[in-house]
């Protein structure tokens, strides 16, 4: 296991920092934190037409940003990705690099419409089910507006990163149960699916222990984050924590992980549960990267690889004769875990 050189060179900036939550609350640490987090976008960061809409929701309108492929590449109807940013349910917005850069990259690489969701954060007394309801509302709106958006309704993928992956999976479970509808695929990047982090492998725990506390996602972090998101709400259906949900009949799922990420334990356990439920699943581990790598520029080769896998899924996922679709890179005849580590 070798951390990417560009990331390794920055770690001195945050050496000795506490956890993310504690660091964000300390004004004295902000200049170094900004330097660590500031990456110049790739010189080829795609420029795509965008516009803003509001999806009607149970708690009020949900803002979304729609990314359209450049007019120079006409194709209609197009595949689509509904994308949900991460941030531990307490941070992030449509301008976050994980939201904006990822949406632009996938839009151009896949020649697809991307709809990024600005769900309400779990702050100021907001908790589950509000962020979950917002994502459900946004996906429904995209599905029901497919003709206006120039989208093929049979080629809608839903996905997200970290807490956004949790919200994406929970929304798809809810839509399966309430609407009898599934997207063609589900894309989960470095996801958190459990209220408590499963045990890490000895190899992963040893590798992460050598890194600054700031870049580690520990069991205690997951416990605090999920408790804040859940609040006092019950989760009888597993929509808030999809690892506790009924997974049978879920659409094909891509899990995209970072090699150096404690949340791999949650993602790996979820992949195993999907396979046990006979859900087609592809699990790709991107080498040399930390949690949150979709916030980095595509000029880093492993990030480019992760984006290529994501875009490939949006382009090539197709519904099958059953209600379940097919993922590129996975066996379309049976549920499978397609492990990759390159």
Is-contact 181 146, C-beta < 8 A? no
Which SS3 state, helix, strand or coil, does residue 63 take?
Answer: strand
C-alpha distances (whole Å) from 109 to each of 68, 87, 105, 275 are 12, 25, 6, 29
Strands 253-260 and 185-189: what pairing? parallel
96, 146, 162, 267: which is the annotated catalytic residue?
162
Strands 62-67 and 113-117: what pairing? antiparallel
- Distance CA(283)–CA(254), nearest Å, equals 6
Find the length of the chain: 342
Is 261 known to be catalytic? yes
- Distance CA(37)–CA(304), nearest Å, equals 18
* CA–centroid distance for 186 within its chain: 9
How many Å is the Cα radius of gyration of the chain?
A: 19
85, 194, 291, 305: which is the annotated catalytic residue?
291
Is 291 known to be catalytic? yes
261, 266, 283, 295: which is the annotated catalytic residue?
261
Where in the sequence numbering do the catalytic residues fall? Answer: 162, 261, 291
């Amino acid at each position: 296991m070798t951390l990417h050189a560009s990331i390794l060179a920055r770690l001195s900036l945050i050496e000795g920092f506490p956890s993310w939550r504690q660091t964000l609350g300390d004004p004295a640490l902000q200049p170094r934190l900004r330097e660590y987090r500031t990456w110049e976008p790739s010189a080829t960061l795609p420029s795509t037409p965008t516009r803003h809409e509001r999806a009607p929701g149970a708690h009020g309108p949900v803002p979304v940003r729609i990314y359209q492929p450049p007019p120079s590449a006409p194709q209609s109807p197009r595949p689509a990705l509904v994308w949900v940013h991460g941030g531990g349910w307490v941070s992030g917005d449509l301008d976050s690099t994980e939201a904006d850069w990822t949406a632009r990259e996938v839009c151009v690489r896949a020649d697809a419409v991307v709809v990024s969701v600005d769900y309400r954060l779990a702050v100021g007394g907001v908790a589950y089910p509000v962020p979950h309801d917002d994502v459900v509302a946004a996906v429904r709106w995209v599905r029901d507006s497919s003709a206006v958006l120039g989208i093929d309704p049979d080629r809608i993928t839903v996905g997200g990163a970290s807490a956004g992956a949790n919200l994406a999976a929970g929304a798809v479970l809810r839509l399966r149960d309430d609407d009898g509808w599934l997207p063609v695929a589900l894309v989960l990047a470095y996801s958190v699916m459990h209220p408590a982090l499963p045990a890490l492998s000895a190899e992963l725990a040893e590798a992460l222990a050598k890194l600054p506390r700031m870049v580690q996602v520990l069991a205690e972090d997951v416990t605090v984050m999920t408790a804040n998101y859940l609040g006092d709400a019950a989760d009888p259906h597993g929509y808030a924590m999809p690892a506790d949900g009924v997974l049978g009949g879920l659409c094909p799922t891509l899990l995209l992980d970072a090699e150096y990420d404690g949340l791999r334990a949650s993602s790996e356990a979820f992949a195993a549960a999907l396979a046990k439920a006979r859900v087609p699943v592809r699990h790709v581990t991107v080498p040399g990267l930390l949690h949150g790598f979709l916030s980095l520029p595509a000029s880093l080769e492993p990030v480019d690889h992760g984006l290529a896998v994501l875009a490939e899924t949006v382009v090539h996922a197709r519904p099958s004769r059953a209600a379940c679709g097919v993922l590129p890179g996975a066996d379309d005849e049976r549920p499978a875990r397609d492990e990759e580590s390159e």
